[in-house]
Amino acid sequence: MIKIVFFAALREQLDCAELSLSADKAKTVNDIKLLLSDKSAQWQQIFSNASLLAAVNHDMVAGDHLVKSGDEVAFFPPVTGG
């Protein structure tokens, strides 16, 4: 299983903070995005936003980053701290 978490505006738009995905059909972060986009037209639109960032196990990664069972994958908007 892969744990997926969402933050900030993205979490509110999806009305979802966390979900789980079976690891067998997703090899990369981009694969996960495609799987999530299948959920609805709204999700598809949200995950087509090129500015969305992704992290795997707390490290920022690019879309081609490989994922495996046990990983925590996060999606979130550009950060605005400080």
Partner 1 sequence: MSKVITTKKRTSKPAILDEYTNQEISIQAEDFSLADEVTLLEKDNLTDGAVVTFTGRVRNNNNGNNVTSLTLEHYPGMTEKSLAKIINQAKKQWQIGRVKVIHRIGELHIGDQIVFVGVTSKHRQDAFSANEFIMDYLKVKAPFWKKEQIVDAGKTSENWLDAKSSDTDKADLWS
25: tokens are: 């059909």
Nearest CB to partner 1, comparing residues 48 and 57: 57
Beta-strand relationship, 72-76 and 53-56 = antiparallel
Helix/strand/coil (H/E/C) assignment for every residue in the chain = CEEEEECHHHHHHHCCCEEEECHHHCCEHHHHHHHHHCCCHHHHHHHCCCCCEEEECCEEECCCCECCCCCEEEEECCCCCC
- x/- map, 28-47, partner 1, by CB under 8 A: -------xx-xx--------
In whole angstroms, the minimum distance from the beta carbon of 64 to partner 1 comes to 19
**Is position 70 an interface residue for partner 1 (rule: CB under 8 A)?**
yes
Residue of 45, 48, 49, 57 interacting with partner 1 (CB under 8 A)? 57
Interacting residue ranges for partner 1, rule: CB under 8 A:
1, 3, 5, 7-9, 12, 16-22, 24-26, 35-36, 38-39, 51, 55, 57-60, 70, 72, 74, 76-82
